[in-house]
Amino acid sequence: MDEHAPRTGAPDVDVVLLGATGFTGRLAAERLAVLQQRARSEGRPFPTWAVAGRDRGRLDAVVAALPPCAPPPEVVAGVDVYDVGSLARLAARTRVLLNAVGPYTETAPAVIDACVRTGTHYADLSGELPLLRRVVDGFHEPARAAGCQVVQLAGWEALPPDLVALHACRAATGAAPGAWGPGAGASVQRVDVSVRFDQVPAGLRSLSDAVSAGTLASVVEILGDPDAGLVGDPAGLLPTGGHGDDTAAAAVRRVSPLRLRPFREGGRLLGPAVPVAFLDPPVLHRTAALLARESGAPHTPARLREGIDHGPAGGAGALLRLAPQLALAAAQRGLAVVVQLPLSVRTGLADVVRRWLPAPGTGPRPAALHGWEWTVTATAVATGGRRGTATLRGTGHPGYTATAALLVALGLEMAEPDRDSVVAGVVTPGIALGPGTSRHLSTPELALLPS
């Protein structure tokens, strides 16, 4: 690795949002502006922040469209993810870089490399599991050595389930305030994560109200990836390497296979996680494995189940509500089959699908972005039967408005000057947020409620 622009002085910006002109990037910029104004009106300090990207005109337009915020964010133009010099200069200027430039498979490694070289914390929203595995393999040790955190899947997938599972495990193992708990001696046997949509805006119309062009492009990238076979492997992000049949991976696959079937828990009916069930489990198992490693304890995987809460089990109503989820589960099974096809077939398929993708920068209609209320709750049961629970309550479209707010909350937490228990490396959203309750997850729009 050649050295380009190592950090020479103190960074002059706390948080940089790269890709602020994209669909999700614009929502993240809005969230930062709202939080800044709120802090200002309450007399609290707020970190300095900047928006970055390729084109000054487009970035200026994003800033001009922000809700009132003073001072406005700095605009850093001329940053192209294919230009390592521009990335190095950007990373050297900031303490935290939030990356909303997708699709990530091709472009994120260069941005992560620039951050690790300068010891800058990094977070993104990528859900391309083969990429995540390569980032673990290529950057965990360098990031540890640099003392920084690299966090992926820091939106709807997989921040809420990872965070509440971690807090439920801490409660179940009787962890002291500020201590991690799971993996630190007392093992957790079961973790159940349930997602409830308490309010959904009326008139959601089509696929475009559910996913943006950028997300669809990322799914296509997975199709064409040589390592696409990782999709569906709950052990795919373990520190020991998810490819092989090592003991830890085998234990995770045996104890906690990926579930697409509905199940009953506490008199409730739970259907498969949406939009995809295969992203969260590898992250939650990585959290437990990394924390076990930190404490020097063996990693004993818990049985993990995750599902959408469809209300009381039994009765025709529950079955009707479950029907669309079963269709989604069937689609996910189909994807699991497709990723096992020969690479040449998958790349051909990806080329065909690419032609049908909507224009970059587009996504759900404004009416679909608001009017949501949801909760993500985890219950953990430790050896000996002690239970712990934790809930994250949120508002906004899970995949976009809320995802942007989650990424921003993580970025603000990573920018805090006096953080406890910082585990460096390629870590998970829960680990990056730390064992305490972040004040950035104590807002009207997003609130963590530990038990």
- In the complex, minimum distance from the CB of residue 105 to ligand NAP, in angstroms, rounded to a whole number: 9
Determine if 161 is a binding residue for ligand NAP (CB under 6 A): no
For residues 113 and 421, what is the distance between their CA atoms, to the nearest angstrom?
A: 24
Q: Which of 65, 67, 71, 82 binds ligand NAP (CB under 6 A)?
A: 82
CB of 89 to ligand NAP, least distance (A): 14
Q: 224: which residues sit within 8 A by CB, 6+ positions away?
A: 343, 346, 347, 350, 351
The label of the residue with tokens 């696929």 reads: 207
Query: Which helix (DSSP H) or strand (DSSP E) does residue 313 occupy?
Result: none
Q: Which is nearer to ligand NAP, 27 or 258 (CB)?
A: 27
**Min CB(374)–ligand NAP separation in Å:** 13
Residue appearing with tokens 């995987």:
301
**CB of residue 291 vs ligand NAP: minimum separation in angstroms?**
22
- Which has the closest alpha carbon to 91: 156, 146, 163, 152? 146
Are the C-beta atoms of residues 112 and 135 closer than 8 Å to each other?
A: yes
Which residue's CB is nearer to ligand NAP, number 57 or number 342?
57
Interacting residues of 128 by C-beta distance below 8 A, sequence separation 6+: 103, 104, 105, 218, 221, 222, 225
Q: Which is nearer to ligand NAP, 47 or 102 (CB)?
A: 102
Q: Does 403 bind ligand NAP (CB under 6 A)?
A: yes
User: Site mask, ligand NAP, residues 22-41, x = CB under 6 A?
Assistant: xxxx----------------
Please provide the DSSP assignment of 159-192 as one string. HHHHHHHHHHHHHHTTPPTT---TTSSSPEEEEE
What burial letters (b/e) apply to 69-92, b meaning 16+ CB within 10 Å? beeebbbbeebebeebebbbbbbb
Residue with tokens 């605009």: 75
| Nearest residue (CB) to ligand NAP, 130 versus 388 | 130
Least separation in angstroms between CB 211 and ligand NAP: 8
β-sheet with 268-271: strand ranges across: 263-265, 268-271, 303-312, 188-199, 373-382, 387-395, 446-450
Which residues are CB-neighbours of 204 under 8 A, at least 6 positions away?
210, 368
Region from 98-106, 140-148, 379-387, 443-451 binding ligand NAP, contact rule CB under 6 A: 98-106
Kindly write out the interface string for residues 354-373 of this chain, putting x where it contacts ligand NAP by CB under 6 A and - elsewhere: ------xx-x----------
Residue type, 60: D
Among 92, 101, 339, 433, binds ligand NAP (CB under 6 A): 101
Q: Within positions 44 to 73, which residues make up the interface with ligand NAP, using CB under 6 A?
A: 53-55, 58
Size of the site for ligand NAP (CB under 6 A): 35
**Of the ranges 207-215, 315-323, 324-332, 373-381, which one interacts with ligand NAP (CB under 6 A)?**
207-215
* Residue 139 makes contact with ligand NAP by CB under 6 A: no
**Minimum CB distance to ligand NAP, residue 83 (Å):** 8
Shortest distance, CB of residue 134 to ligand NAP, whole angstroms? Answer: 16
Q: CA 285 to CA 432: how far, in whole Å?
A: 15
One character per residue 313-352, x = contact with ligand NAP (rule: CB under 6 A): ----------------------------------------
* Identified binder of ligand NAP from the candidate list 399, 425, 430, 435, rule CB under 6 A: 399
| Distance between CA atoms of residues 105 and 103, nearest Å | 6
In angstroms, the CA 76 to CA 256 distance is 45
Q: Of the listed pieces 227-235, 260-268, 294-302, 395-403, which binds ligand NAP according to CB under 6 A? A: 395-403
For the beta sheet containing 425-427, the strands, ordered from the edge strand earlier in sequence to the opposite edge, are 74-76, 49-52, 13-18, 94-99, 121-124, 149-151, 425-427
- The residues binding ligand NAP (CB under 6 A) are 19, 21-25, 53-55, 58, 80-82, 100-104, 125, 127, 153, 155-157, 212-215, 218, 360-361, 363, 399-400, 403
